[in-house]
């Protein structure tokens, strides 16, 4: 029997057929304008990024895909350049075209859902990267001829070329076929150099894991999901609302908040602009430092 992975406190994210039908009925009754999209950065620093091997940068490609440059290495998170997700077209072009990327040294995968793991993208990545993946996913890489794959359980850590990669909990689930529900795990990655620590949260609902992670890591930059939360009665166990994303950020005591997982694919009933509006409102309500919130445009680079 294949092992099935679970959340902290055995939080159940499964949904019944009746709940799925209720959501689809609600979705059909909603009229959302998808013409307003997250803007592309007016200028992109692709040539500088390709040449860069010294400065730390974070560039938003779209959704949960980032190019992170740190300690001279090029790292990609959840690489997905797919033009469609299910029946939905991609809402924005990727911030950097696949063939414009520098050679990739490391890929980190948060979990196996198609909007976070796209093998069509992976086969076109430049370089010969090493892949850090949740436990249970390695075989899906190996059957495609990808051998440099390291599996991780929660709180496992690995050092590669001087960088430390730690796999930490999230509250979610995963599925790629009719029979493989939760046969691999899910989580976030903390990437640490001597100067920087970046927490790529992955996909998650609000959970006590944020406090648990804060006790074990000192975090500078948090790349936090804020989208795919509506309807909240259906999504709350698996996806953060913008308000809960801020709450999680405060619990991990990060210094910089970069939102992700919004505005690229229409996976739930909220839109990218709605997610940003709620994020801004919560940030202002709590009177948080505006300089700590870095809302990147598609293709925009933050030089740390």
Residue 249: give its domain's CATH number: 3.60.15.10
Is there a contact between 122 and 146 (Cβ–Cβ < 8 Å)?
Answer: yes
The confidence band for 1, taking pLDDT boundaries of 50, 70 and 90, is: confident
pLDDT of residue 189: 98
Residue 115 lies in a domain: yes
Q: How far apart are CA 272 and CA 260, in angstroms?
A: 10
Residue 148 lies in a domain: yes
Report pLDDT digits (tens) over 204-227: 999 999 999 999 999 999 999 999
What local confidence, expressed as pLDDT, does residue 216 receive?
A: 96
State the pLDDT at residue 272.
Answer: 95
Mean pLDDT value across residues 257-273: 96
- What does the pLDDT read at residue 29? 83
Helix (H/G/I), strand (E/B), else coil: 95: coil
100, 304 Cβ separation under 8 angstroms = no
3-state helix, strand, coil in the chain (%, to 5): 25, 20, 55
Considering its fold, how many domains does the chain have in total? 1
The whole-model pTM stands at: 0.96
Judging by DSSP bridges, how do beta strands 106-108 and 88-89 pair with one another?
Answer: unpaired
Are the C-beta atoms of residues 254 and 222 closer than 8 Å to each other? Answer: yes
Q: By the 8 A CB rule, do 2 and 183 touch?
A: yes
Residues 54-72 have pLDDT tens digits of 999 999 999 999 999 999 9
DSSP output for 191-218: EE-SS-EEEE--S--S-THHHHHHTT--
pLDDT tens-digit series, residues 77-97: 999 999 999 888 999 999 999
| Residue 8, in any domain of the structure | no
pLDDT at 28 over 90: no
Asked if 232 contacts 254 with a C-beta cutoff of 8 angstroms, the reply is no
Asked if 196 contacts 221 with a C-beta cutoff of 8 angstroms, the reply is yes
The pLDDT score that the predictor gives to residue 34 is: 81
Report if residue 285 sits inside a domain. Answer: yes
Provide the pLDDT for residue 2: 84
For residue 291, what are the domain limits?
40-303
Whether the pLDDT of residue 30 is over 90: the answer is no
Residue 152 placed within a domain: yes
* Domain annotation covers residue 177: yes
pLDDT score at 154: 98
Which phi and psi angles does 192 have, rounded to 5°? Answer: -125, 130
- The answer as to whether 144 is a domain residue is yes
For residues 250 and 238, what is the distance between their CA atoms, to the nearest angstrom? 19
The predicted-structure confidence for 111-168, as pLDDT tens digits, reads as follows 999 999 999 999 999 999 999 999 999 999 999 999 999 999 999 999 999 999 999 9
Q: For 265-271, what is the mean pLDDT?
A: 94
Angle at 260 between CA 119 and CA 131, to 5 degrees: 35
Q: Is residue 19 part of a domain?
A: no
Under 8 Å between Cβ of 304 and 57: yes
The rounded mean pLDDT for the chain is 96
């Amino acid at each position: 029997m294949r092992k099935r992975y679970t959340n902290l406190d055995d939080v159940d994210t499964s949904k019944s057929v009746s709940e799925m039908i209720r959501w689809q009925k609600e979705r059909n009754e909603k009229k959302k304008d998808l013409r307003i999209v997250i803007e592309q950065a007016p200028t992109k620093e692709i040539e500088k990024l390709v040449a860069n091997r010294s400065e730390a940068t974070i560039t938003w490609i779209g959704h949960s895909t980032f190019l992170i440059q740190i300690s001279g290495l090029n790292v990609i998170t959840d690489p997905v350049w797919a033009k469609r997700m299910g029946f939905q077209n991609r809402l924005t072009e990727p911030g950097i075209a696949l063939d414009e990327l520098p050679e990739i040294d490391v890929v980190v995968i948060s979990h196996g859902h198609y909007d976070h793991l796209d093998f069509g993208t992976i086969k076109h990545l430049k370089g010969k990267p090493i892949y850090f993946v949740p436990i249970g996913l390695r075989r899906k890489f190996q059957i495609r001829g990808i051998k440099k794959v390291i599996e991780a359980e929660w709180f496992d850590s690995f050092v590669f070329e001087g960088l430390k990669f730690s796999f930490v909990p999230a509250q979610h689930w995963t599925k790629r076929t009719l029979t493989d529900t939760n046969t691999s795990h899910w989580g976030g990655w903390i990437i640490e150099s001597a100067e920087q620590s970046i927490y790529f949260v992955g996909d998650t609902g609000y959970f006590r894991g944020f406090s648990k992670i804060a006790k074990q890591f000192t975090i500078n930059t948090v790349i936090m999901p804020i989208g795919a939360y509506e309807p909240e009665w259906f999504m709350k166990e698996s996806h953060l609302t913008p308000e809960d994303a801020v709450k999680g950020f405060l619990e991990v005591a990060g210094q910089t908040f970069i939102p992700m997982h919004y505005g690229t694919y229409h996976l739930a009933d909220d839109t990218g602009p709605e997610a940003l509006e709620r994020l801004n409102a919560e940030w202002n309500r709590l009177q948080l430092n505006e300089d700590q919130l870095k809302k990147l445009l598609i293709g925009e680079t933050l030089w740390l």
